[in-house]
Amino acid sequence: MPATGCRSAGALPQTVDEAFVKALPKAELHAHLSGSVSMKTLHGMWSRKRASGRCLKLLDPLQAMLSIAESVDIISFFPLFDQYIYQLLDDIESVQEATRSVIRDFATDGVKYLELRTTPREHAQTGMTKASYVHAVHEVIQTHNNSYDVVCEQSHDIKVYLILSIDRKMTLEQANEVLDLAMTLRTGCVVGIDLSGNPARGDVETFTPVFRRAKTEGLHITVHFAEVLASATQRELEVILSWEPDRLGHVICTSEDVERTIKERRTGLELCLSCNVLAKMTEGSIADHHFRKWRMTSCPIALSTDDVGIFQSPLSNEYLLAAQHFELGPQDLVALSKSAASIAFGDSQSLRASLKTFETYFQAQGYGC
Ligand SMILES: [Zn+2]
């Protein structure tokens, strides 16, 4: 589904179209599980829960999410999860159904490598604990990946990994609990930890011991970085950079000093075009997005969706938007996908192989890759 409000009437390079970006094997590195659930899946859960007398006060997701998607901004974004989406994803069955549907949706969009991230949650009324939540998600991914190993030659294959997120509202003890869960499952599909949540909340210094421990233990680190001015003080950014993160998400309100450090380290960047513009995190249109600036550096970039269930722009559409607004041709988009693969935390070998096959095929078709 194309992004609403983000498409320009500008001409595409002649050989890039919707079929091309969908067929392009892609890596999605910045996708929140709960924000990636489709309205259709949420609607199915809502209908079943209402039939059993639950969630009676919640609006139909087909209505609620559409109106939210049209008016969401960074201020109204976070309450949306607490007040709506988490009310539907409140038990193990729903969480597992959501995970399966998200994997399926990304696979259908031509994503071959997926890192989902999620914050461990609990729900007293259904008995869901943070540990049971994480194990439930992990089980779905492991089951998927094990079946993938058998059928990896099929067209809709996708390799999936998990990142556990620490919320900025957490205490040090709660953050350590997330890291402990990640450590427990690192022999499975967990590849790293993340810092996310409302950027106006919390003091990142609280989490320094946790991220230092993660680094020592060999887990990968990605951090939501300089999303808004409130989370972009020189002190905050320096604290986060002292953790030596492998990747940074968003990277919007940065100073020259900070940008110099990121460039010197060639840190991987997860950039989200539609999310940033629709949530009004950046000024102007997609053409004004800082993707243009960072593309001129040697930092590897992974175009990402962040919350496709809300912003309604699948990864293929993000590549199409990049082609439209930054004058990228087929070869540029293949290079962009390779760039994302180069900063994957898990094993991206099969994605690289798919990209090679794709490149060869489209060269033969005269796409100029
Ligand atoms: Zn995010």
**pLDDT number for residue 41:** 96
**Which residues does the annotation mark as catalytic?**
227
Q: Is residue 1 a part of any domain in this protein?
A: no
Give me the CATH number covering residue 25: 3.20.20.140
Give the mean pLDDT of the chain. 90
Q: Is residue 3 a part of any domain in this protein?
A: no
Q: How many domains does the chain have?
A: 1
**pLDDT number for residue 6:** 39
Percentage of residues in the chain having pLDDT higher than 90 = 79
The per-residue pLDDT for range 305-341, each reduced to its tens digit, is 999 999 999 999 999 999 999 999 999 999 999 999 9
Domain that holds residue 78: 18-363
pLDDT(154) > 60: no
Give the range with max mean pLDDT: 7-16, 151-160, 165-174. 165-174
> How distant is the alpha carbon of residue 193 from its chain centre?
13
Separation of 165 CA from ligand 1 center, angstroms?
A: 10
Q: Is residue 329 a part of any domain in this protein?
A: yes
**pLDDT number for residue 367:** 60
Separation of 358 CA from ligand 1 center, angstroms?
A: 29
Separation of 34 CA from ligand 1 center, angstroms?
A: 11
Separation of 302 CA from ligand 1 center, angstroms?
A: 13
**pLDDT number for residue 160:** 97
**pLDDT number for residue 155:** 44
**pLDDT number for residue 64:** 81
Separation of 224 CA from ligand 1 center, angstroms?
A: 6
Taking residues 81-104, report their average pLDDT: 93
Q: Is residue 5 a part of any domain in this protein?
A: no
Separation of 249 CA from ligand 1 center, angstroms?
A: 7
The per-residue pLDDT for range 42-90, each reduced to its tens digit, is 999 999 999 998 888 888 888 887 776 666 777 677 777 877 899 999 9
Q: Is residue 339 a part of any domain in this protein?
A: yes
Separation of 365 CA from ligand 1 center, angstroms?
A: 37
Q: Is residue 186 a part of any domain in this protein?
A: yes
Q: Is residue 10 a part of any domain in this protein?
A: no
Q: Is residue 291 a part of any domain in this protein?
A: yes
- pLDDT bracket for residue 149 (50, 70, 90): low
- pLDDT bracket for residue 1 (50, 70, 90): very low
**pLDDT number for residue 13:** 42
CB-based neighbours (< 5 A) of ligand 1, an ion: 306
